[in-house]
Amino acid sequence: MKIEGSIALVTGGNRGIGRHFVQQLLDRGAAKVYAATRKPETIDVPGATPLALDITDPDSVAAAAAAAPDLTLLVNNAGTTTGNDLVSGELAAIRKEFDTNFYGPLAMIRIFAPILARNGGGGILNVNSRLSWLSYPGANAYAASKAAAWSMTNGVRQELAGQDTQVTGLYLSSTDTDMMAGWDIPKNDPVDVVTVALDGLEAGAPEVLADQETKETKASLAA
Contact 74, 124 (CB under 8 A): yes
**What is the three-class DSSP state of 210?**
coil
Which one, of 153, 129, 126, lies nearest residue 141 by Cα?
Answer: 129
Residue-level pLDDT at 189: 85
Residue-level pLDDT at 176: 57
The residue ranges of every structural domain in the chain are 7-222
Contact 122, 81 (CB under 8 A): no
d(CA 183, CA 160): 37
Contact 171, 132 (CB under 8 A): yes
E strand or H helix at 32? strand 32-37
Residue-level pLDDT at 128: 96
Residue-level pLDDT at 173: 85
**What is the three-class DSSP state of 2?**
coil
Environment class of 158 (CB within 10 Å of its CB; exposed 0-12, middle 13-18, buried 19+): exposed
d(CA 200, CA 123): 12
Question: Residue 7: beta bridge partners?
Answer: 32
Q: Which CATH class is domain 7-222?
A: alpha beta
Contact 105, 152 (CB under 8 A): yes
Question: Residue 171: beta bridge partners?
Answer: 209
pLDDT in tens, the chain (223 residues): 999 999 999 999 998 899 999 999 999 999 999 999 999 999 999 999 999 999 999 999 999 999 999 999 999 999 999 999 999 999 999 999 999 999 999 999 999 999 999 999 999 999 999 999 999 899 999 999 999 999 999 999 999 999 999 999 999 987 556 665 555 666 668 898 999 999 999 999 999 999 999 999 999 998 8
Exposure string of 181-204, with b = 16+ CB inside 10 Å and e = fewer, is eeeeeebbebeebbebbbebbbee
Residue-level pLDDT at 182: 59
Residue-level pLDDT at 223: 85
Residue-level pLDDT at 133: 96
